Amino acid sequence: MARTIAVIVRCDGDSWAAWSPQCPGLAVIQPTAAELRNALPGALAGYFDGHEAFETEVHLENELRGVAVRVAQDQLRWERHLLAERIAAALGVEEQAQAMRSAPASSLGDIVYATVLPADTIGWLTHQMDVDGDAITVALPVADELIWTTTLASAADGNTYGGIEYGGIVFPATATFGEVMQADAAPRHIRV
């Protein structure tokens, strides 16, 4: 069975860069997106010395008003793109933008918002994170115009990911963000 490698792709100024949490120390930089797309398979094969089968899962990051917005390039990328537009609209309101830019930073020092859909699992997101001291803020669509957010952070001691504890509830890596959001919206105390 092929190993899945999460590849983060970003345009940085005059070049395109790609890296992967599953490939520490590997960074591929090319002047154009097309050249990066062509160079990436060879760089990954070289990283694994051609001894391991792998598939890539590409996540495109774009810088928007002081934060990086990450959109998985999967079969649901259009829905994720619409969510990215909601994030961009929220960043257009200064007090919301200030709050969003105060989220914990990733291991590279960026504030990252990942476009997450209700069926995405915790494991799918943590697979995109560095093991040591990384943070990513989940943005999930709610109703027509709202976004639910929460931040996940990896342990600074390099622990691997299992599930997460959120609101006093432990969720396994297979739990969906829809389940996490529902638990967050549910009342924890009932006053009689």
* 161 and 73 belong to one structural domain: yes
* Interval 53-92: pLDDT, tens: 889 999 999 998 889 999 999 999 999 999 999 999 999 9
* 39 and 131 belong to one structural domain: no
* 183 and 117 belong to one structural domain: yes
* 5 and 95 belong to one structural domain: no
Query: Hey, what are 74's tokens?
Result: 């999967």
* 89 and 110 belong to one structural domain: yes
* 117 and 188 belong to one structural domain: yes
* 38 and 118 belong to one structural domain: no
* 72 and 39 belong to one structural domain: no
* 1 and 81 belong to one structural domain: no
Structural domain count of the chain: 2
pLDDT of residue 185: 62
CA 175 to chain centre: 16
From residue 105, give the alpha-carbon distance in Å to each of 33, 42, 154: 26, 30, 11
Q: How far is Cα 156 from Cα 44, in angstroms, rounded to an integer?
A: 26
Last residue of a domain, one of 43, 60, 77: 60
Nearest to 19 by CA among 69, 73, 59: 59
Contact indicator for 113, 173 with CB cutoff of 8 Å: no
* 122 and 166 belong to one structural domain: yes
Q: What's the CATH number where 37 sits?
A: 3.30.2390.10
pLDDT of residue 190: 34
CA 98 to chain centre: 20
Q: How far is Cα 59 from Cα 71, in angstroms, rounded to an integer?
A: 5
* 23 and 83 belong to one structural domain: no
Domain containing 31 equals: 1-60
Nearest to 127 by CA among 67, 59, 43: 59
Divide the 192 residues of the chain into consecutive groups of 10 and give the mean pLDDT of each group.
90 92 94 95 90 90 93 97 94 92 90 96 90 86 85 63 65 88 61 29
Distant-in-sequence, close-in-space partners of 112: CB < 8 Å, separation ≥ 6:
61, 67, 68, 69, 70, 106, 135, 136, 137
* 103 and 192 belong to one structural domain: yes
From residue 88, give the alpha-carbon distance in Å to each of 69, 91, 109, 139: 9, 5, 20, 12
pLDDT of residue 187: 47
Cα Rg for the chain, rounded, in angstroms?
17
